[in-house]
Amino acid sequence: MEIKKTAKSEFVGVGFSQTVSFEEAQAKKLHGVIQQLKDRRGEIVDIQEDSGMWAISDHHGEEEFTFYILMETENLPESLPEGMISYHVPALTMLIPGIRSMSGLK
Paired with 70 in beta bridges are: 15, 54
Angle at 64 between CA 48 and CA 61, to 5 degrees: 105
Paired with 54 in beta bridges are: 70
Q: Is the pLDDT of residue 94 over 80?
A: no
Distance linking the first and last C-alpha atoms of the chain? 18
Domain map of the chain by residue range? 2-98
Q: How confident is the model at residue 97 (pLDDT cuts 50, 70, 90)?
A: low
- The confidence score (pLDDT) of residue 39 equals 96
- Domain 2-98: CATH class, spelled out: alpha beta
pLDDT in tens, 22-58: 999 988 889 999 999 999 999 999 998 777 888 888 8
Q: pTM for this structure?
A: 0.78
